[in-house]
Amino acid sequence: MPITPATATHTSPNGTADAILLELVDEDGVTIGTAEKLAAHQPPGQLHRAFSVFLFDERGRLLLQQRALGKYHSPGVWSNTCCGHPYPGEAPFAAAARRTFEELGVSPTLLAEAGTVRYNHPDPESGLVEQEYNHLFVGLVQSPLRPDAEEVGDTAFVTPAELAERHAGDPFSSWFMTVLDAARPAVRELTGPSAGW
């Protein structure tokens, strides 16, 4: 199963290995260049394109992911279902679907755009900075998960009340509440009023 950690390379069409590049963007999300992945996260951070996925089960519970301990950025913390960065020129929707499968071994039954959010979140543990123009997606998952242990430490489906309890006691990614709050209108539309989001 392919993975794309910060220090990985990917094979270009001509068969050579290239460093992972991110799309740098302006405040309107217009592409203005590229930067190597780790360099883009060094303080003060370079604004780059990213995505965040929120998948729900048939009961309206959110799928959380605990990031693997070996991750270069925010290891061991809980976060949304999946997040990452499109390759330069890759559509955010395609990147979101790709990474969800790479990390969790499932393809969403439904995946829909849920807007964008721009934020600047330093990570106190690593010293890295999330300076991101983030494309949000919500969807449904109906297949058994097959997480990649190099990417995912654990998973959990939670109700809003269970999330509040877990968020009060466990470490979460610095960006989690920002992206969840930005996605809430689409989450409510997807899950309906009875789910409580």
Amino acid at 78: W
**β-strands 110-122, 62-67 pairing:** unpaired
Scanning the structure block, which residue is given the tokens 């990917």? 10
What is the distance of C-alpha 131 from the center of its chain? 14
Q: Is residue 109 left, alpha or beta, with left meaning phi > 0 and alpha meaning psi from -120 to 50?
A: alpha
- Whether 90 is catalytic is no
Residue type, 1: M
CA atoms within 13 A on the CB side of 88: 17
Cis status of the peptide bond prior to 44, with omega within 30 of 0: yes
- Of 23, 103, 130, 132, which residue is the catalytic one? 132
Among candidate residues 121, 132, 137, the one with its CA nearest the CA of residue 173? 121
Q: Active-site residue among 23, 83, 103, 130?
A: 83
Q: Alpha-carbon distance 148 to 102, whole Å?
A: 7
83 is catalytic: yes
**Residues known to be catalytic:** 83, 132
